[in-house]
Amino acid sequence: MNSIIDYINTSRDRYIEELKGYLAIPSISALPQHAPDVRRCAEWTADEMRRIGLQNVRLIETPGHPVVYGDWLGAEGAPTILFYGHYDVQPVDPVELWESPPFEATIRDGEIYARGAADDKGQVFMHFKAIEAHLKQAGKLPVNMKIILEGEEEVGSANLDDFIKAHRGELGADLVVISDSPMFDRGIPSICYGLRGLTYFQIDLRGTKSDLHSGSFGGAVANPAMVLAQILAQMKDRGGRVKIPGFYDDVKPLREEERAEFKKLPFNETRYRKELGAPKLFGESGYTTLERVWGRPTFEVNGLLAGFTGEGAKTVIPAVAMAKVSMRLVPNQDPEKIATLFEEHVRKVAPKTVELKVTRMHGGKPWMTEFDNPFVQAAGRAIEKGFGKAPVFNREGGSIPVVATFQEILGLPSVLFGVGLPDENAHAPNEKLDLGNFHGGVIASAYLYDEIAGVGR
């Protein structure tokens, strides 16, 4: 490994310049006008995979954006890693809040600022550089590699499950590696062993055929904005517990050993609150902040729209009101079951004075593995070699639905091997990636392949 690590260390400046080229492509999957850019990014990705020495590289079409596939299968008898990531990025609005153009990567104070820097181009690229180092210096990889990179992760991965089902024969492997998650904190590398699931809805209410004058008609009809507020207020109690009947029936409780491990982590609630700018933290009674975020389900209002919201005053009863809501789910909760329970509850509490429409948007299952899994432990050893510090083991509040898909369809365990930071604005203005973590991640990834090879021996 010495020559490989030396190669990585002497290539640091080149890596950054190459990464800037990747980050310059505005591959925003949510905006139709950027569809040509998404394809251009897929082609750039494929070209880079060929350049570093991967084989059988091609774009595989889907009903949406293409999946980029490549492999290297020359390590006879060694384990096979299926690496998953995505090359699409979030929209950049509000663009005026960016301190530098979102697609002109800029380095400030040891961090690279650009949309996609942390989520997920930077973390995909660190694996490209680790693969390149092995192939350039050793002429081979210690493991077999299959790589799939999708272009629709930021819009719900609508076509990914069907892609995996259709190609399950060629995607066979021993484990999945995903680098699309943060470390526990700055200077504290981590291995994530659990993710929450998700179900997402839009609620639409209509009270009348058009907006009405609140003086002439106030008191004669229901106000959809008020009705919507009343419906949403019935989703949680004052202690933060979700009131949907049956919502908690299948929740896998946090084990006492796990809660004890969470308490050992260097988590400062006061600093956390101040960094968020919150006057006071709030969540389900009886649980700590980490327990709420990692191991308990939630109900959240993600957006509201109703009536007049411009400058000044307009006395109007809105004809319609809309809310977007989501529920984060924990192990043993099924998104389809929770979605049905939610729909039933909304229809029960909604009055007959408005027309109600409930639309399922998307969702994903929760996932958890045991952190004594040999592949997880191998990843821990690689992280320690890359960062000079043993990782902590933690769960995450976010969702990566494909992790459960890999487990269910391909029967594969997953290792989440992220090097982002919680404060890197992944879906917000001024997204960034710490370059020290990026370079540590390249080294750790190079060691990861070696450690995984050792598990197979």
Residues belonging to the active site: 88, 153
Which three-class secondary structure state does DSSP give residue 64? coil
Q: Name the residue type at position 240.
A: G
Paired tokens of 284: 């389900």
What is the distance of C-alpha 260 from the center of its chain? 26
What is the distance of C-alpha 141 from the center of its chain? 28
135, burial (CB in 10 Å: exposed 0-12, middle 13-18, buried 19+) = middle
Phi, psi of 240 (to 5 degrees): 85, 10
CA angle 210, 325, 239 (to 5 degrees): 120
- Rounded distance, CA 383 to CA 419, Å? 9
| Nearest CA among 207, 200, 201 for reference residue 356 | 207
- 169 Cβ partners below 8 Å, 6+ apart? none
Do the Cβ atoms of 397 and 362 come closer than 8 Å?
Answer: no
Phi, psi of 410 (to 5 degrees): -100, -10
